[in-house]
Amino acid sequence: MIAKPYDFLVIGSGCAGLEFALDAAQHGTVAIITKKNKAESNTNYAQGGIASVISSDDSFDQHIEDTLIAGAGLCNPDAVDLIVREGPGIIRELIGRGAEFTSNNGMLDLAREGGHGRNRIIHARDATGREIEMTLLRAVEDNNNITMLEHHFAIEVITEHHLGRDVTRHTENKHCFGAYVLDTNTGRVETILARATLLATGGAGRVYLHTTNPEIATGDGIAMAYRAKARVANMEFIQFHPTTLYTPDSDSFLISEAVRGHGGILKNNDGEAFMSSYDDRAELAPRDIVARAIDDQLKKRGDECVFLDVTHLHEKDLKTNFPTIYSTCLEYGIDITRDQIPVVPAAHYICGGVWTDLDGATTIHGLFAAGEVACTGVHGANRLASNSLLEALVFAKRAAASAAVYIKTAELPDTIPDWDDSGTSETEEWILISHNKKELQQVMWDYVGIVRSDLRLERAFRRTRLLYEEVEGYYKRNAVSVPLCQLRNLIAVSYIIIRSAMMRKESRGLHYSTDYPATSTQARNDTVIG
């Protein structure tokens, strides 16, 4: 069933999708599709905050330098320059829309996180993402040019391939015309046409067994773009957050980096503070260093977790600044004002993604990408803490401006074929889908984690290939469903991560290989697939 064409189709309702929609709505009609409830996104769980140069003792140059250092030689300096300089404007706009950030005596409170040379993290206590998400959602609800379609799952972006033309990675003039979308309320696949489409589908943390990301983070946008033959880059750089609550049987709850910024100390099971033996910046070293140090402690000592100790900090201060962390830990029987917090690293953020230029355009005309799904060049080989919300908002704005120009001359084909599900039946063998997902996540955790080697990557490659063949088989036989499509996307993203990791014959930033422990002086190139 073909719905009427929109000027802009936005896939995803996190901060990137909402920011783009609000700007694009000044130029035409916008549909936002989102696979669950509209607030469900990585954005909604962001804790620490959003980095920006606000204080008079800070400078753009210092924020740029900190970002480039964390990025380990792979950032695009132009992209970094952009987000840093446009940061204060983004913060002002959020406040103008009604966002309430933590302040003291009328001044924004600026927190500190790893890798930052200054206090520059604007936050809403320890629930910054929720404040941003709710602020943007309120503005979207008030905008008559924007239609929000919840429980709509994008299956594929539509290109010339769906018109029966041969599209390869080398085809120069590929275009996107919208997306095939499964309405999970009705079970029907709709064709949503649009002059410009934004991928704002967020990250892919669910590729791994342990992750801070909610269930939506299955890398759908990266997988769709890859299948549509867009360029994807730097996918080996997976950021593992050093500190998530150690609870073997439940999802990994984040203990914000701001807790270390506040004075939290990492200790091993013998009570030794170990970070200064790994890096002079100790607890405030960038995440890759802290996560690897913890991994080293766990492997060397055979322990299951390390501890984050904040018991020396002021009780009232902890409860005021970290109310979510305090109350969640309490649910697990840990009173952070008295007990050390057991922590382990977990997959947190994907630095690579769908390659874009500085205006959020991908290598497919009419297809834009912003937020965690995109690889803009800002993060290089390792993202600096709290630069993600900033990048998502800045690049969503830029993508909206460039998409508004694009739609003026964009043409849609006269007809687009309906989604073809002939020859398929209702989904069989659910147990195989859930079992294959667990197997994939375990393989990725064991072999493509914080420390990698050629042997582990080859093993992961072989296992993933088998899973790919099985799941492609189901996909051909069965009607589309969200679990099946997500599994297929997780496998595609895992495959790209493994291949990218195999291509990088050095250690840099978040990619550490025991076979190539040194950082090459020559290999300052992006890993490009497609």
Cβ neighbours of residue 200 closer than 8 Å, sequence gap 6 or more? 10, 11, 12, 13, 14, 16, 17, 20, 221, 369, 370, 371, 373, 396
Q: Kindly give the residue spans of alpha helices, DSSP state H, lying in 381-514.
A: 388-406, 430-447, 454-477, 482-503
Interface of this chain with ligand FAD, residues 363 to 392, rule: CB under 6 A: 371-373, 386-389, 392
Residue whose Cβ sits closest to ligand SIN: 48
Active-site residue, 465 included: no
In the complex, least distance from residue 40 CB atom to ligand FAD, rounded to whole angstroms: 5
Judged by CB under 6 A, does residue 388 bind ligand SIN? Answer: yes
Judged by CB under 6 A, does residue 385 bind ligand SIN? Answer: yes
42 binds, among ligand FAD, ligand SIN, none (CB under 5 to 8 A by kind): ligand FAD
In the complex, least distance from residue 140 CB atom to ligand SIN, rounded to whole angstroms: 24
Instruction: Specify the residue, 124 or 289, whose C-beta has the smaller distance to ligand FAD.
Output: 124
Sketch the per residue contact string, 23 through 62, with ligand SIN: x for CB under 6 A, - otherwise: ------------------------xx--------------
Q: Which conformational region is residue 447 in: left (phi greater than 0), alpha (psi within -120 to 50 degrees), or beta?
A: alpha
Judged by CB under 6 A, does residue 286 bind ligand SIN? Answer: no
Q: How far apart are CA 371 and CA 83, in angstroms?
A: 12
Count how many Cα atoms sit within 13 Å of the Cα of residue 378 in the half-sphere of its side chain.
35
Sketch the per residue contact string, 275 through 314, with ligand FAD: x for CB under 6 A, - otherwise: ----------------------------------------
Judged by CB under 6 A, does residue 321 bind ligand FAD? Answer: no
In the complex, least distance from residue 384 CB atom to ligand FAD, rounded to whole angstroms: 9
Cβ neighbours of residue 249 closer than 8 Å, sequence gap 6 or more? none
**HEC per residue, 177-246:** CEEEEEECCCCEEEEEEEEEEEECCCCCHHHCCCECCCCCCCCHHHHHHHHCCCCEECCCCEEEEEEEEC
Q: How many residues bind ligand SIN (CB under 6 A)?
A: 8
Q: Binder to ligand FAD among 29, 67, 212, 328 (CB under 6 A)?
A: 212
Interface of this chain with ligand FAD, residues 11 to 30, rule: CB under 6 A: 11-17
Neighbours of 208 (CB within 10 A): 28
Q: What is the DSSP pairing of strand 353-355 with strand 121-122?
A: unpaired
11 binds, among ligand FAD, ligand SIN, none (CB under 5 to 8 A by kind): ligand FAD
178 binds, among ligand SIN, ligand FAD, none (CB under 5 to 8 A by kind): none
Instruction: Specify the residue, 47 or 67, whose C-beta has the smaller distance to ligand FAD.
Output: 47
Please name the amino acid found at residue 401. Answer: A
In the complex, least distance from residue 248 CB atom to ligand SIN, rounded to whole angstroms: 21
Q: Binder to ligand FAD among 22, 53, 111, 200 (CB under 6 A)?
A: 200
Interface of this chain with ligand SIN, residues 208 to 267, rule: CB under 6 A: 256-258
363 binds, among ligand SIN, ligand FAD, none (CB under 5 to 8 A by kind): none
CA dist list (Å): 93 to 12, 23, 90, 97, 98: 21, 12, 5, 6, 9
Instruction: Specify the residue, 90 or 492, whose C-beta has the smaller distance to ligand SIN.
Output: 90
3-state secondary structure of 253: coil
Instruction: Specify the residue, 118 or 459, whose C-beta has the smaller distance to ligand FAD.
Output: 118
Q: Is 296 exposed, middle or buried (0-12, 13-18, 19+ CB in 10 A)?
A: middle
Judged by CB under 6 A, does residue 513 bind ligand SIN? Answer: no
Full DSSP string of 311-375: TTS-HHHHHHH-HHHHHHHHHTT--TTTSPEEEEEEEEEES-EEE--TTSB-SSBTEEE-STTEE
CA 48 to chain centre: 15
Q: How many residues bind ligand FAD (CB under 6 A)?
A: 43
First-last CA distance in the chain: 32
Q: Which residue has the tokens 């997902």?
A: 437
3-state secondary structure of 171: coil
Q: How far apart are CA 434 and CA 457, in angstroms?
A: 23
In the complex, least distance from residue 288 CB atom to ligand SIN, rounded to whole angstroms: 13
Instruction: Specify the residue, 233 or 457, whose C-beta has the smaller distance to ligand FAD.
Output: 233
220 binds, among ligand FAD, ligand SIN, none (CB under 5 to 8 A by kind): ligand FAD
Instruction: Specify the residue, 181 or 325, whose C-beta has the smaller distance to ligand SIN.
Output: 325
Residues belonging to the active site = 287
Q: Which residues bind ligand FAD (CB under 6 A)?
A: 11-17, 33-36, 40-43, 45-50, 128-129, 153-154, 200-203, 212-213, 216, 220, 254, 349, 371-373, 386-389, 392
